[in-house]
A = this chain, B = another copy of it.
Amino acid sequence: MSEFIEVVYGVKSPAAEVESRAESILLEQAVELPRKALTDPFVLSNIVGEVRSIERRGEGDYRVTIAHPAITAAENPAQLLNVFFGNTSLQPDVLLEDLRIPASLLEKFRGPRFGIEGLRQATHVSHGPLTSTALKPMGLSVEKLADICRTFALAGVDLIKDDHGLADHAFSPFRERVKACVTAVRQAAEKTGRETLYVPNLIGTPTEVLEQLRFAQEAGVGGVMISPMLLGLPLLNEIVRGELRVPLLAHPSFGGALRIAPEALLGRLFRWFGADAVIYPNHGGRFSYSLKTCETLASRLRDPNGGGKTVLPVPAGGIKVERLGEILAFYGEDVMLLIGGSLYEARESLEERTREFVTKARGL
């Protein structure tokens, strides 16, 4: 018997369309193909899950529960997010409201290493609330931050975390700060008799963060903090499954990232950070980017003054071969056309259909 991942979505939809909307979310999150393009028996019986329930909560407001076979997640945190909410996160009528995973998958992810019990042991606070504060502001020297750390520790706070904005700045290098703050809480402990946990903020690219983790643990920190949405949720799990030996605090910074306009996120940050081609949901497909957003995205990616080499826009998401002329008239020639479902629907005529796409694109 297969195990399932369950996802509860809030879906805004007219009553007459909610069943087909639920079916399309189910397909989008796993096979990303229309059902009529599915022929493989393994895919049909082991990959495509099912819509478990659709409950009406109000006018045009539904709670839709979808089950995906657990094997779709490949026992991997990044792929789990993909199955829960990859492409569907781009559709504004859907909110991810709740999640369930089988115990076998949780075992792979491992979950908290210390939890409440471990934090109480580490702080020697067996009951009552734990107290904590933040080391800041960004811009202070290592010496000044260590002084504040000592002050907080002398006052008896249980845990001192770096502000989430303290990085490896030239004016307060990570390694020096960690050493100075560990020393400060130890000095305070000589007076108070109890060591406050100092918890540095780990921030950077994944490899930098893993190096910071190693350094901090060797230096004797009481815990570490990361912002999973900033660094990437899969890195949280890699740390936890790997070298973590102290309690880990998660900070919500960047947790509201959707409220970055796509023009800024895909049009600027993806380019600055080095993508050569950027795929995005084209206007008029399964997703919601407006014509204006698509125009701005393409123009920012291709702007010779947009920063570094120009980038190829890749409009996608439900493009039909029939719409190629219109799309090329809109984007001009510096574009990559990405068509999937519309080809797969040809089934055994896949090669002819693809050839038609290529020929048409070349000829326009």
Closest chain B residue to A30 by CB distance?
B138
Q: Are B139 and A256 in contact (CB under 8 A)?
A: no
Contacts of A261 in B (CB 8 A): 10, 95-98
Q: Are A97 and B148 in contact (CB under 8 A)?
A: no
A189 located at the interface, meaning its Cβ lies under 8 Å from any Cβ of chain B in the complex: no
Contacts of A234 in B (CB 8 A): 204-206, 230-232, 273
Q: Are B163 and A32 in contact (CB under 8 A)?
A: yes
Contacts of A236 in B (CB 8 A): 270, 273-275
**Closest CB of chain B to A349's CB: distance in Å?**
10
**Closest CB of chain B to A73's CB: distance in Å?**
8
Residue among B98, B205, B228 making CB contact with A77, cutoff 8 Å:
B205
Map CB proximity to B onto A269-291 as digits: 1 under 8 Å, 0 otherwise. Answer: 11111111111110000000000
Contacts of A118 in B (CB 8 A): 276, 309
Q: How far is the CA of A248 from the CA of B302 in the complex (A)?
A: 16
Q: Are A119 and B277 in contact (CB under 8 A)?
A: yes
Q: Which 6 A-B pairs have the closest CB atoms?
A: A232-B232, A111-B308, A240-B274, A115-B309, A258-B258, A206-B206
**Interface of chain A residues 286 through 331 with chain B (CB within 8 A):** 302, 307-312, 314, 328, 331
Q: How far is the CA of A352 from the CA of B30 in the complex (A)?
A: 57
**Closest CB of chain B to A58's CB: distance in Å?**
17
A339 located at the interface, meaning its Cβ lies under 8 Å from any Cβ of chain B in the complex: yes
Q: How far is the CA of A335 from the CA of B131 in the complex (A)?
A: 9
A76 located at the interface, meaning its Cβ lies under 8 Å from any Cβ of chain B in the complex: yes
Closest chain B residue to A101 by CB distance?
B272
Band of interface residues on A: 35 or more
**Interface of chain A residues 51 through 94 with chain B (CB within 8 A):** 71-72, 74, 76-79, 81-83, 85-87, 89-92, 94
A358 located at the interface, meaning its Cβ lies under 8 Å from any Cβ of chain B in the complex: yes
**Closest CB of chain B to A31's CB: distance in Å?**
4
Q: How far is the CA of A293 from the CA of B256 in the complex (A)?
A: 15
Residue among B169, B311, B340 making CB contact with A112, cutoff 8 Å:
B311
Q: Are A257 and B257 in contact (CB under 8 A)?
A: yes
**Closest CB of chain B to A140's CB: distance in Å?**
6
Q: Are A264 and B32 in contact (CB under 8 A)?
A: no
**Of A234, A255, A276, most B-chain CB atoms within 10 Å:** A276
Q: Are A248 and B233 in contact (CB under 8 A)?
A: no
Given contacts A138-B72, A157-B358, A311-B116, whether A109 and B274 have CB atoms under 8 Å apart is yes
